[in-house]
Structure 1
């Protein structure tokens, strides 16, 4: 536990956490409370900011030396998640409560979106760890996640993930969010263990 704690990307996680809470708190500054649509937009941006922080969670400067350790990647990753998940849950709850009640969207549905976004970031990071030898994959993962988020803004509401409660595809959208969450969880589960063949300098070697 102690070595894992020392290698956590605390700076990235803290920066994302502080920025997210500042965004949530900014909705209380205007004299007039924002409407629900703006509250939903702010929470989606906060969820993305949090996911960008989690993109760095699997960064491990000691990865190349810890690969031969008796403690496998599954346990090391589980320890990282065990340390970060409770803090992330408290952070998200605080952010939601900071949004004025008049502007706060359906908490369960927006939390589903946040969970899928966070696990999506972890799935991208898990894929990078699985198929590369880089010790720190967070920066490239954050870039990829930001690119995916930018593309989603361009997808029409009928097929996209960013509808509003007034949109007739609101419920169908959250079915897609649920499918995305299950898919990214499956990716994390399947690709977290070390492969049978290790990679060195981009080339597979014997098991």
Structure 2
């Protein structure tokens, strides 16, 4: 079951933020448009952090479908909707205030995939049935770190800044790293693998002793 309420609330909030730039008598400048889109990307990322929340995870662990397939279906189902939502948000911002679409979309993709990777890592390493809250907090912490370190790494620069291209090389690297982490965390949780390994090593009742009678 996907967290449709969280995703829907974030979607509405992001659209409302972008639509606010078109209020009558309000002419946003380039910095306002950039800020609105970055905030909308963060809102979307916080919602995606809840993508792997599944209270029934303990019971679905025993189904015959392998976990990478089950887990991969969630991002696959949400990705087209997220792309359509981001397109709507992007083009709701007036063209005069809109930053380069490709660059700002790269930032949004890096934020979203990072959120999914954090949630997947929590499931993989800790077996969390509801990793969303922790992943969202971790994403917020990363956002604060990016904000504090932006002057050194030039991550949150405006269009026209000499470091704009360098910043988006950093964003591209973050996107690739997050995607690789997400893929690495799709297999079965480690705690289940350890439990399965112990079960295989432990002889059941009535099993012959390895040392004979």
Normalising by structure 2, we get a TM-score of 0.88
CA distance, structure 1, for counterparts of residue 191 and residue 122 of structure 2: 16
Contact 2:115 2:139 (8 Å CA) reproduced: yes
Give the counterpart of 2:74 among 80, 96, 100.
Answer: 80
Bigger CA radius of gyration? 2
CA distance, structure 1, for counterparts of residue 49 and residue 162 of structure 2: 32
2:151 alignment partner, SS class:
coil
CA distance, structure 2, for counterparts of residue 54 and residue 152 of structure 1: 19
**CA deviation digits over 1:77-120, x for unaligned, max 9?**
22111211111111000000100111011000000000000000
**CA deviation digits over 1:149-193, x for unaligned, max 9?**
122111143414211113211110000000000001110111111
Contact 2:125 2:190 (8 Å CA) reproduced: no
In the alignment, structure 2 segments of 5+ residues that lack a partner are 198-213
**CA deviation digits over 1:19-67, x for unaligned, max 9?**
0000000111151421112111110000000010000001111101111
1:117 aligns with 2:111: yes
Which runs of structure 2 are paired with 1:153-172 in the superposition (5 Å)? 153-172=147-166
Which aligned runs of 4 or more in structure 1 are off by greater than 6 angstroms?
Answer: none
Structural RMSD (CA): 1.4
Structure in which a larger fraction of residues adopt helix: 2
1:26 aligns with 2:20: yes
2:148 alignment partner, SS class:
coil
Q: CA deviation at 1:197?
A: 5.5
The residue that corresponds to 1:105 in the other structure is 99
Contact 1:158 1:169 (8 Å CA) reproduced: no
In structure 2, relative to structure 1, the CA distance for the partners of 1:196 and 1:149 (3 Å cut) is closer
CA distance, structure 2, for counterparts of residue 186 and residue 91 of structure 1: 24
Count of equivalent residues: 197
In the alignment, structure 1 segments of 5+ residues that lack a partner are 1-6
Contact 2:126 2:191 (8 Å CA) reproduced: no
Normalising by structure 1, we get a TM-score of 0.90
In structure 2, relative to structure 1, the CA distance for the partners of 1:160 and 1:194 (3 Å cut) is farther
